[in-house]
Structure 1
Amino acid sequence: MTDAPLTFAAVLAGGTGSRMGAAVPKQFLDVAGKPVLQHTLEAFEASAAVDRIVLVMAEGHHEAARAVAEAAKATKLEAVIGGGATRAASSLAAIRWIEARPGIGPATRVLLHDAARMLVSGRIIAEVAAALDGHRAATAAIPSSDTVVQVEDGRIAAVPDRALLRRVQTPQGFHLGLIAEAHEAAAADPGFTPTDDCSVVLRYRPEVPVLTVPGSERNLKVTGPDDLAVAEALLRT
């Protein structure tokens, strides 16, 4: 009998949150008495589906991040590492760090999560991780409540069937060998700028299906000041 593969959660906080307009990165802003990052780390620390955590942090903020992790009692946190200039570069930094750990193989599971999604639930984390038992890629996603249109030259060119559309969230989970190979290809392609990790797999490993599991409207991404107010209100409910 072999041991089950380890599951790493890579919490991506490499951005500086310029759209928030604050003096510090948004992951350090308080919501309901705790920094955004603390809420996120606590969620992954509490998940039985996660074995280890690596935090990808913007340069110059590593000590502050470690202080937040201490407040979160994040005993699973193994390292705070530097991010890249893009979201994809930060993902690749986490992937390369995990690959370098002793005893790690291609079946190791990686959950890539935006630190700004501070209200992620234990249910979502567990279901994305569990999906990797039978699939090599999975993501949380929710149906689109709005009609989404394709626009060309300022005019509506097409109206996709809303029933087929989903809004992708994080965590997004992968077998390490798959996501490492896909991201290495993306890094070598100057014509491709991915905004999430599933799109990297879809482009460079299109033969690999990406399973969706139910996300939640509550699993919002804190981007601007209004999102902070919404997150605070949701924490009171």
Structure 2
Amino acid sequence: MPNDQPERGRPHVTAAVLAGGVGSRVGGPLPKQLLSLAGRTILERSIAAFCTAPEVDEVVVVMVADHVAAAEKIVAEGGYAKVSRVVPGGASRSESSLAALRAVAHRADDDLVLLHDTARPLVSGRTIAACVAALAEAGAVGVAVPSSDTVVQVAADARGREVIASVPDRAGLRRMQTPQGFRLGVVRRAYARACADPAFTATDDCGVVLRYLPEEPVRIVPGEESNIKVTHPGDLAVAEVLLRGTAER
């Protein structure tokens, strides 16, 4: 069973592994989180990363609704004792995040939650620990790496063709990863305001805080290039190479 009584004075830390999407860009009959990555499913690798992190007390899995039973089987067969429940996700990332927040509705506002994309199965213990440590002083934390590419902003010309509108200085640009960490009271307030906005759309939880709680700074901690997101078929091959490199060290 997950630890309901972390050491006195320390907030309870829940990691929500978000697997509510179908990952259609990878292709195939199964959601990408159920595809095999070096002998284990992507979902299992993400679950295992948080179950083995000493900073995490509890894991909640948010799974695409039609495959909740498959996720429950993975948890049972893997013996992942920190997993307290598997709940169905929504049609969008924000709906799956809301499902995770409902699953920890009984937790205090000062407790912590890490929201993680299952499609990043190579997240390291070092990154997880950095997120939790940063939340000792911040209400919201994002993981990011510097952009090695030049990023351009585009616009349409008079004939509807894309043209470069501006070239931001990449020194101030970062590529966001997950997990993204929050004090529960902060992310709850942000989503409450977001859900009251008829125009609300989001693909990023830190973005929800930034937009709806502008007074709340979002702290950045360094990510790792190995924490890749499996989005396209070729990403699976890259992830397998990275796993082999880790095993050989």
TM value normalised by structure 1: 0.96
CA shift for structure 1 position 192: 2.7
Name the count of aligned residue pairs. 234
Output the amino acid matched with 1:122: G
Q: List gaps (5 residues or longer) in structure 1.
A: none
Whole-Å Cα distance in 1 between the matches of residues 234 and 77 of structure 2? 25
CA shift for structure 1 position 22: 1.1
Match of 2:171 in 1: 163
Match of 1:229 in 2: 237
User: Which of 115, 132, 137 in structure 2 is aligned with 1:134?
Assistant: 137
CA shift for structure 1 position 71: 3.6
Whole-Å Cα distance in 2 between the matches of residues 119 and 223 of structure 1? 13
Q: List gaps (5 residues or longer) in structure 2.
A: 1-6, 157-161
Whole-Å Cα distance in 1 between the matches of residues 64 and 85 of structure 2? 13
CA shift for structure 1 position 190: 2.9
Cα-Cα RMSD: 1.2
CA shift for structure 1 position 184: 2.0
Output the amino acid matched with 1:150: Q
CA shift for structure 1 position 2: 5.0
CA shift for structure 1 position 183: 1.2
Output the amino acid matched with 1:155: V
Residues 8-87 of structure 1 mapped to structure 2, 5 A cutoff: 8-87=14-93
User: Which of 199, 206, 229 in structure 2 is aligned with 1:198?
Assistant: 206
Match of 2:122 in 1: 119
**Structure whose CA Rg is larger:** 2
Structure 2 SS opposite 1:141: strand
TM value normalised by structure 2: 0.91
Whole-Å Cα distance in 1 between the matches of residues 195 and 93 of structure 2? 11
CA shift for structure 1 position 55: 0.5
Indicate conservation of the 8 Å contact 1:96/1:180, yes or no.
no
Output the amino acid matched with 1:4: R
- Name the % identity: 53
Indicate conservation of the 8 Å contact 1:87/1:195, yes or no.
yes
Whole-Å Cα distance in 2 between the matches of residues 232 and 165 of structure 1? 28
Whole-Å Cα distance in 1 between the matches of residues 240 and 8 of structure 2? 44
Whole-Å Cα distance in 2 between the matches of residues 106 and 143 of structure 1? 32
Indicate conservation of the 8 Å contact 1:142/1:167, yes or no.
yes
